[in-house]
């Protein structure tokens, strides 16, 4: 009897999990399907799910109108660059907070996190003026710097949480064996925290890839990433949903593929230390 209940329970949970998964994935699936419709079919009521005449004309149009390769290149450089720079700063910072805490460590962590609560538009003008005066407007290095700073609190917090799970005694043992500070961080701490660092890296790349406020406001023609590419197909006066869907599919495809292949790593990192 207990076994029967358990099987039924399992089936219900599985169906529920698949339903929720499908519900979350549905908007992406709908975007991809719409990208293969004509503009008229994209707004047809009732909408057709699979029974429509499939076309690649939206992709052809998007390809002929925009320089996808340049936007893609900018997205890769900005998201990977800002993540690596962020890790370079955050690993030593998180190490000191996790293993050499002071009375103010908790306050500093909270203060860092509080900067994420500020609406970005509140600092748009000062940052715009700084970028203008330093010649960083519409430049890839400028965006790398600004996205590093924006995501730094999250990187530090995530790494701090992972580092806290590592026993301090191991680092002490390394120190007893004569390890310097840097070799302790590079050769002992970092290899032990690889799952955490990897998931931080992946999550931050995704955050930087999707960041739209700063990447839209601080760029024009040269440094515009894929967020600007999508924005160029949105229009409040005209039904261009099929083209917008094609552009969106092209913009999200690389990050979806990356997420798909690294999901094991991501989940492992995100649940690191969750169960003791």
- Contacting another protein within 162-201 (CB under 8 A): none
Q: Which of 53, 237, 274, 275 binds another protein (CB under 8 A)?
A: 237
Query: Which C-beta is closer to another protein: that of 132 or that of 187?
Result: 132
Binding test (CB under 8 A) with another protein, winner from 15, 16, 28, 40: 40
Q: Which residues contact 245 (CB under 8 A, 6 or more apart)?
A: 31, 32, 34, 35, 42, 58
Q: 135 in the Ramachandran plot: left (φ > 0), alpha (ψ -120 to 50) or beta? A: left
DSSP state of 263: H
Q: Return the residues of window 100-129 that contact another protein according to CB under 8 A.
A: 124-125, 128-129
Separation CA 31–CA 101 (nearest Å)? 48
Q: Tell me if residue 200 falls in helix, strand or coil.
A: helix
DSSP state of 122: G
Applying the rule CB under 8 A, the residues between 203 and 222 that interact with another protein are 216-217, 220-221
Whether residue 199 is preceded by a cis peptide bond, meaning omega within 30 degrees of 0, is no
Instruction: By CB under 8 A, name the one of 63, 99, 138, 164 that touches another protein.
Output: 138
Q: How far apart are CB 240 and another protein at their closest, in Å?
A: 7
Which listed residue (55, 190, 210, 232) binds another protein by CB under 8 A? 232
Query: Interface with another protein includes 239 (CB under 8 A)?
Result: yes
What sign for the dihedral angle of Cα 148, 260, 18, 3?
negative
59 counts as binding another protein under rule CB under 8 A: no
* 17 is a contact residue toward another protein (CB under 8 A): no
The reply to whether 9 sits near another protein by the rule CB under 8 A is no
Using rule CB under 8 A, residue 228 touches another protein: yes
Q: Which long-range contacts (CB under 8 A, 24 or more apart) does 84-87 make?
A: 85/144, 85/145, 85/148, 86/148, 86/151, 86/152, 86/155, 86/204, 87/155, 87/197, 87/200, 87/201, 87/204
Question: Closest CB to another protein among 138 and 165?
Answer: 138
Residue 43 within binding range of another protein, rule CB under 8 A: yes
CB atoms within 10 A of CB 176: 8
Beta carbons within 10 angstroms of residue 162's beta carbon: 23
In the complex, minimum distance from the CB of residue 171 to another protein, in angstroms, rounded to a whole number = 47
CB of 220 to another protein, least distance (A): 4
Which residues of this protein are in contact with another protein, per CB under 8 A? 39-40, 43-45, 65, 124-125, 128-129, 132, 137-138, 216-217, 220-221, 224, 228, 231-240
């Amino acid at each position: 009897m207990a076994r029967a209940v358990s099987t039924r329970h399992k089936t219900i949970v599985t169906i529920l999990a698949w339903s929720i998964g499908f519900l979350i994935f549905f908007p992406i699936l709908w975007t991809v399907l719409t990208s293969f419709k004509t503009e008229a079919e994209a707004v047809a009521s009732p909408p057709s799910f699979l029974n429509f005449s499939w076309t690649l004309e939206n992709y052809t149009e998007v390809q002929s109108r925009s320089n996808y390769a340049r936007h893609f290149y900018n997205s890769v450089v900005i998201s990977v660059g800002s993540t690596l720079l962020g890790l370079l700063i955050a690993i030593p910072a998180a190490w000191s907070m996790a293993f050499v805490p002071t009375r103010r460590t908790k306050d500093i962590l909270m203060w860092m996190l509080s900067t994420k609560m500020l609406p970005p538009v509140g600092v748009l003008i000062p940052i715009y003026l700084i970028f203008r005066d330093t010649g960083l407007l519409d430049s890839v290095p400028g965006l790398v710097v600004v996205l590093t700073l924006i995501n730094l609190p999250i990187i530090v917090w995530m790494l701090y949480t992972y580092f806290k799970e590592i026993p301090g005694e191991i680092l002490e043992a390394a120190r007893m064996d004569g390890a310097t500070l840097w070799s302790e961080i590079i050769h002992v701490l970092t290899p032990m925290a690889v799952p955490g660092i990897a998931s931080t890296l992946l999550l931050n790349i995704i955050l930087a890839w999707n960041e739209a406020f700063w990447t839209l406001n601080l760029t024009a023609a040269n440094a515009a990433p894929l967020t600007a590419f999508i924005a160029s197909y949105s229009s409040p006066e005209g039904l261009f949903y099929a083209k917008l869907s094609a552009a969106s599919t092209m913009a999200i495809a690389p990050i979806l593929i990356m997420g798909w292949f690294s999901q094991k790593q991501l989940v492992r990192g995100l649940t690191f230390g969750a169960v003791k």
